[in-house]
């Protein structure tokens, strides 16, 4: 891209008086716009010809990286391939041009989509009913905790204000509990990365009467299956609390096992993660919340209308196009892919918990700690080789976390190529550490000062 000609900002290409449009003759020229409705100064708009505008934006769009450009191993986010047919279904004008205030008799097809999706999600999760109103996973967590709070209040039990959250949990879990006016009690992980039963028993014996719920994701944030779930649900139900399932990691359980069968009472799913919606850059999302029988009446209204309908449409198209048989392959294939990558890299990257993982796993930086090359350096060097970086410095349990989630759609060749590059970077870290530490070298912008960017963001020119 020729930056000088096509510019970083469209304003840099502006020439006073340059026009990219022509309008028909103004038939209202005689009409006086009332003074009070006129702006005092001209709007500050860039003035460019059409071709310059087209090239400027087209060239910038080529700097985007998405699942459709290349391998995107961003752990925790389930950046999986979104089949084109799902986009086509969501974009059908019969659905996309509906208005939320239309009379119900004119939107029966859309309502049928909602109810088909609800039935499909109930059968995948073992829940009784779903609300589609939450717009994201975090919004679903808040909704779910409100359901739990409403349930306790309906029994005049107002002392249950505590929510148990594992120390490995996603940050939204404690945040949602706090927003819901509940108090977070952290339960520790043991050395094999699972919830410590010992610590949980202590919490339950000390504060059982004030426990409203326990939030868990399974597989957990380290990509490990929480095999003690039956014992955990027994403990929590035993003291009168409810179990909340954070379904952001539902992908590997797809068609294999169900949170409802594990004893969870309330759950959310991230349709934009496990059910096919492109979700880079923060949206769009949908975090439907499911409840077991007997909790439907506590579902609050957390947004107007029927939720993020286009995301729901993609989810239904995704489920139907896989079909009852293939849906069962999502979990096993995502698990196989993650284990394949992990096993072929664990001699050069530090694997703190050497166990069979589910859909994702976490390295704690390079195995050879003497090189001084950090997880940040490896992530930046991956960009040079045309890969999106994994999730880094999360989860917080390790200093140099690098969380990799390949997802189920990737071919063996793609995984092998990624493994080669990761091994190459590990070798570079030993032979020419400076090249890795000063990466990226091939991207339009070099290494940014992310601390400065966070503390003093410049969001306009």
Ligand X SMILES: *Cc1c(COP(=O)(O)O)cnc(C)c1O
The binding site for ligand X (CB under 6 A) comprises 76, 136-138, 170, 172, 217, 221, 246, 248-249, 270, 285, 287
The least distance separating ligand X from the CB of residue 224, rounded to whole angstroms, comes to 13
Which one, 172 or 189, has the nearer CB to ligand X? 172
**Interatomic CA distance for residues 316 and 116, integer angstroms:** 8
**Interatomic CA distance for residues 233 and 174, integer angstroms:** 19
Q: Which helix (H) or strand (E) holds 243?
A: strand 242-247
Residue 452's Cβ-side half-sphere holds a number of Cα atoms within 13 Å equal to 4
Which one, 248 or 439, has the nearer CB to ligand X? 248
Which one, 107 or 248, has the nearer CB to ligand X? 248
Q: Who contacts 304 (Cβ-Cβ below 8 Å, separation ≥6)?
A: 100
Q: Are strands 129-131 and 162-166 parallel, antiparallel or unpaired?
A: unpaired
What is the DSSP secondary-structure string of 394-433? -STTSTTEEEE---TT--HHHHHHHHHHHHHHHHHHHH-H
The least distance separating ligand X from the CB of residue 407, rounded to whole angstroms, comes to 13
The least distance separating ligand X from the CB of residue 11, rounded to whole angstroms, comes to 33
Which one, 137 or 263, has the nearer CB to ligand X? 137
Number of helices and strands (H, E) in the chain? 15, 10
The least distance separating ligand X from the CB of residue 382, rounded to whole angstroms, comes to 21
Which one, 233 or 249, has the nearer CB to ligand X? 249
The least distance separating ligand X from the CB of residue 239, rounded to whole angstroms, comes to 24
The least distance separating ligand X from the CB of residue 204, rounded to whole angstroms, comes to 23
The least distance separating ligand X from the CB of residue 359, rounded to whole angstroms, comes to 11
Q: Dihedral of CA 316/217/172/174: which sign? A: positive
Vertex 181 angle, CA 179 and 182, to 5°: 105
Residue 207's Cβ-side half-sphere holds a number of Cα atoms within 13 Å equal to 19
**Interatomic CA distance for residues 363 and 351, integer angstroms:** 5
Count other C-beta atoms under 10 Å from residue 210's C-beta: 16
Residue 296 near residue 129 (C-beta atoms within 8 A):
yes
The least distance separating ligand X from the CB of residue 77, rounded to whole angstroms, comes to 6
Which one, 140 or 260, has the nearer CB to ligand X? 140
Which one, 274 or 374, has the nearer CB to ligand X? 274
Which one, 7 or 193, has the nearer CB to ligand X? 193
Residue 35 Cα distances to 28, 38, 40, 411, angstroms: 16, 5, 9, 64
Q: Which residue is nearest to ligand X (CB)?
A: 137
């Amino acid at each position: 891209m020729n930056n000088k000609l096509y510019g970083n900002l469209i304003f840099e290409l502006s020439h006073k008086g340059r026009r990219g449009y022509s309008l028909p003759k103004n038939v209202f020229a005689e009409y006086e716009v009332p003074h009070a409705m006129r702006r005092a100064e001209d709007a500050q708009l860039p003035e460019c010809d059409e071709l310059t505008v087209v090239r400027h934006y087209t060239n910038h769009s080529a700097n985007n990286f998405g699942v459709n450009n290349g391998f995107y191993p961003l752990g925790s986010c389930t950046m999986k391939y979104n089949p084109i047919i799902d986009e086509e279904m969501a974009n059908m004008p019969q659905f996309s041009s509906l208005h939320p205030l239309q009379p119900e008799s004119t939107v029966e097809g859309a309502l049928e989509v909602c109810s088909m999706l609800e039935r499909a999600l109930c059968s995948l999760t073992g829940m009784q009913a779903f609300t589609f109103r939450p717009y994201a996973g975090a919004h679903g967590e808040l909704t779910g905790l409100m359901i739990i709070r409403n349930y306790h209040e309906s029994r005049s039990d107002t002392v249950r204000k505590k929510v148990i959250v594992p120390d490995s949990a996603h940050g939204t879990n404690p945040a949602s509990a706090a927003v819901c006016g509940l108090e977070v009690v952290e339960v520790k992980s043991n050395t094999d990365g699972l919830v410590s039963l010992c610590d949980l028993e202590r919490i339950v014996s000390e504060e059982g009467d004030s426990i409203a719920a326990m939030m868990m994701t399974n597989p957990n944030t380290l990509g490990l299956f929480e095999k003690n779930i039956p014992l955990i649900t027994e403990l929590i139900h035993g003291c009168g609390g409810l179990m909340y399932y954070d379904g952001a990691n539902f992908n590997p359980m797809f068609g294999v096992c169900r949170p409802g069968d594990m004893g969870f009472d309330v759950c959310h799913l991230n349709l934009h993660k496990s059910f096919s919606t492109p979700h880079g850059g923060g949206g769009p999302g949908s975090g439907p919340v499911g409840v077991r029988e007997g909790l439907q009446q506590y579902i609050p209204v957390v947004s107007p209308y029927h939720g993020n309908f286009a995301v729901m449409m993609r989810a239904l198209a995704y489920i139907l196009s896989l079909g009852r048989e293939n849906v069962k392959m999502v979990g096993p294939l995502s698990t196989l892919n993650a284990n394949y990558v992990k096993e072929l890299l664990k001699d050069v990257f530090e694997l703190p918990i050497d166990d069979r993982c589910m859909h994702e796993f976490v390295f704690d930086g390079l195995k050879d700690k003497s090189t001084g090359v950090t997880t940040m350096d490896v992530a930046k060097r991956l960009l040079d080789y045309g890969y999106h970086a994994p999730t880094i410095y999360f989860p917080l349990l390790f200093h140099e976390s690098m969380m990799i989630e390949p997802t189920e759609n990737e071919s063996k060749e793609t995984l092998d190529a990624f493994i080669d590059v990761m091994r190459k970077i590990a070798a570079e870290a030993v032979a020419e550490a400076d090249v890795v530490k000063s990466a990226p070298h091939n991207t339009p912008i070099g290494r940014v000062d992310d601390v400065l960017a966070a503390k003093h963001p410049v969001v306009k020119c």
